[in-house]
Amino acid sequence: MKFPKNFMFGYSWSGFQFEMGLPGSEVESDWWVWVHDKENIASGLVSGDLPENGPAYWHLYKQDHDIAEKLGMDCIRGGIEWARIFPKPTFDVKVDVEKDEEGNIISVDVPESTIKELEKIANMEALEHYRKIYSDWKERGKTFILNLYHWPLPLWIHDPIAVRKLGPDRAPAGWLDEKTVVEFVKFAAFVAYHLDDLVDMWSTMNEPNVVYNQGYINLRSGFPPGYLSFEAAEKAKFNLIQAHIGAYDAIKEYSEKSVGVIYAFAWHDPLAEEYKDEVEEIRKKDYEFVTILHSKGKLDWIGVNYYSRLVYGAKDGHLVPLPGYGFMSERGGFAKSGRPASDFGWEMYPEGLENLLKYLNNAYELPMIITENGMADAADRYRPHYLVSHLKAVYNAMKEGADVRGYLHWSLTDNYEWAQGFRMRFGLVYVDFETKKRYLRPSALVFREIATQKEIPEELAHLADLKFVTRK
């Protein structure tokens, strides 16, 4: 199975999960206070592991780029932490905001004069260090995708502990506050103005759907602010859509490159044929954020994050995602389908990726990049199979006309998995967090074979069809 010669292979990283690990790389944000909060740790909502003990990419980026190059990678999707660039509030830097009659933001104008004002309160050393990190990869003749927002917010934008204790009206409320939209657009313009020469493709945000679903509805996920409210989730969703649109326009002021969004796409299956139509409605609703951006012409490409599926069945007269399948399978066990689940309890379901890519290609007709795909598998027992079976799914979808430009694995190295800390290991490369030393897992060699040849060679294709003995 041969991929096009310009098909890209690589990996994705995010600031909070990868940068910290050696002294001098720490940065305060809502996620920082959230994972250090004693009550969150005591209640088990977060692991108690700390990001400052992470893989130290801020200092060791050359090492990881060397490994990535050795594994045949030619594209990295990376991030930039808003809390690093603007540790202090940017509210006092005034901009013109145009709103419609309902008060929705139509545009935020960030001219060069405003950028110069922002430079006076920005952390220009952090900006320069990001330039060094990105340049080290670009100087190797590689492709770089920069994503502006991957979940942490500056504390002056969002204080999650205060929101949970006092409510969003008496604390910096993050995406519940439309002021955040304006500040995010300033950040986007500032970064595009300063770093566009190093960026091949832009993304405004990673998985906005996870931010509003996990933060305000699925509280067991351990996401900030852990404030249960359906209307808060809707408000956050609305403001995130405004933020993407504002950032899209702001980037276009300073860049000719394409601007997309990276989204968490689960695949949805009905447990029985009779639920088919209702599940199609659920799928449409789940992808609505992307549909809205596309309908407004504010989307040049789609970052597809795919891991597993959700299977829907009837419970008390309505359709719900069923435990025992997809994301809701037993950690380190087997899904009810008989397929193995990851250390995180996510069923391996490569068909979902093939179905998803065909569906998205038909729905949006935009270039796509798999910006995340991988599994928590500390022992690397299943990862070779997971990797080849999902690459085969991409290959099959492309054969059916899906416009996929690349596959970026999640991830190169083990890293800080949010509320789970270091317990969930997603790396092709194992990290000893004491010594920060990197070690290749067997699946890294499988990745290298495929990425260097841009092909799933015959002698590795069998890995897609492995059958694992279930406990039964």
Ligand X SMILES: OC[C@@H]1[C@@H](O)[C@H](O)[C@@H](O)c2[nH]c(CCc3ccccc3)c[n+]21
**Chain position whose Cβ is nearest to ligand X:** 264
Least distance from ligand X to the Cβ atom of residue 211, Å: 10
Between 193 and 344, CB nearer to ligand X: 344
Note whether 134 and 144 are within 8 A (CB): yes
- Residue 305 interacting with ligand X (CB under 6 A): yes
Count of alpha carbons within 13 angstroms of residue 335, beta-carbon side: 22
- Residue 304 interacting with ligand X (CB under 6 A): no
Cβ-Cβ contacts under 8 Å for 285 (sequence gap 6 or more): none
Between 190 and 422, CB nearer to ligand X: 422
> What whole-number distance in Å separates Cα of residue 341 and Cα of residue 346?
5
Q: How many Å separate Cα 36 from the centre of its chain?
A: 22
Token pair for 99? 């709103």
The dihedral of CA 396, 358, 208, 264: what is its sign? negative
* 191, 417, 422, 463: residue in contact with ligand X (rule CB under 6 A): 417
Q: Say which of 178, 207, 372, 417 is annotated catalytic.
A: 372
Q: Enumerate residues 250-269 that contact ligand X by CB under 6 A.
A: 264, 266
Least distance from ligand X to the Cβ atom of residue 224, Å: 14
Between 234 and 400, CB nearer to ligand X: 234
Can you tell me whether residue 315 is helix, strand or coil? Answer: strand
CB burial class (10 A; 0-12, 13-18, 19+) of residue 267?
A: buried
DSSP conformational letter for 147: E
* 307, 334, 364, 382: residue in contact with ligand X (rule CB under 6 A): 307
At position 46, the amino acid (one-letter code) is: V
Residue with tokens 């309890």: 345
Q: Enumerate residues 266-285 that contact ligand X by CB under 6 A.
A: 266
CB burial class (10 A; 0-12, 13-18, 19+) of residue 101?
A: exposed
Least distance from ligand X to the Cβ atom of residue 13, Å: 9
Least distance from ligand X to the Cβ atom of residue 139, Å: 27
Residue 455: how many CB atoms within 10 A of its CB?
A: 17
Angle at the Cα of 398 from the Cα atoms of 453 and 347, rounded to 5 degrees? 90
At position 297, the amino acid (one-letter code) is: G
Residue 59: how many CB atoms within 10 A of its CB?
A: 17
Between 154 and 222, CB nearer to ligand X: 222
Write each residue from 197 to 226 as x if it is in contact with ligand X (CB under 6 A), else as -, in one continuous string.
---------xx--x----------------
Least distance from ligand X to the Cβ atom of residue 251, Å: 20
Write each residue from 7 to 26 as x if it is in contact with ligand X (CB under 6 A), else as -, in one continuous string.
-------x--x---------
Say how many residues touch ligand X, by CB under 6 A. 13
* 3, 9, 426, 447: residue in contact with ligand X (rule CB under 6 A): 426
What is the secondary structure of 8-42 as a DSSP string?
A: EEEEE--HHHHS-SSTT-----HHHHHHH-HHHHH
Is 26 among the residues known to form the active site? no
Write each residue from 103 to 132 as x if it is in contact with ligand X (CB under 6 A), else as -, in one continuous string.
------------------------------
- Residue 49 interacting with ligand X (CB under 6 A): no
Q: Enumerate residues 339-378 that contact ligand X by CB under 6 A.
A: 372
Token pair for 22? 């050696």
Interacting residue ranges for ligand X, rule: CB under 6 A: 14, 17, 206-207, 210, 264, 266, 305, 307, 372, 410, 417, 426
Which residues are known catalytic residues?
372
